[in-house]
Amino acid sequence: MGDVDPNGALPLGTWGGENAAAMVDDTMHVHIGCTYGNAARPSLVAGRFEVAGEYNVNAYPVNRGILHPATFAGQVSGDDLTLTVTLTDTAVVLGPVVVRLGRDPRMGPCPICRWLGRRSDT
């Protein structure tokens, strides 16, 4: 895919890894294990970002629909994104996980949204 520009918006597409994914269009939809959340599409500064959003840590097997305020922080190196999500109301931290641009996520037993030019929430 080539190296991602360290400045500007996080590139569009699916970023996949082991039990993790980020689907980026005008927003960023993230799965880490059996959880998910949404944030605005991040802008990179020197390959890093931090953006506010919402996260559901009780999405599977029974989605209780509880969204927590969260901070999504990441660092891009080449086509790899190291991503951490911190729930700001509980201090629960998910990650860090590494996902790669253009790679299909391997989610194990957890369901995941499919990105086909637009995203639909779980």
Distances (CA, A) of 46 to 79, 106, 113: 14, 28, 29
pTM, two decimals, is: 0.88
pLDDT value for 51:
98
Secondary element (H or E) of residue 52: strand 48-56
Residues of the chain with pLDDT under 50: 116-122
**How far, rounded to the nearest angstrom, does the alpha carbon of residue 106 sit from its chain's CA centroid?**
14
pLDDT value for 1:
56
pLDDT value for 63:
80
pLDDT value for 43:
95
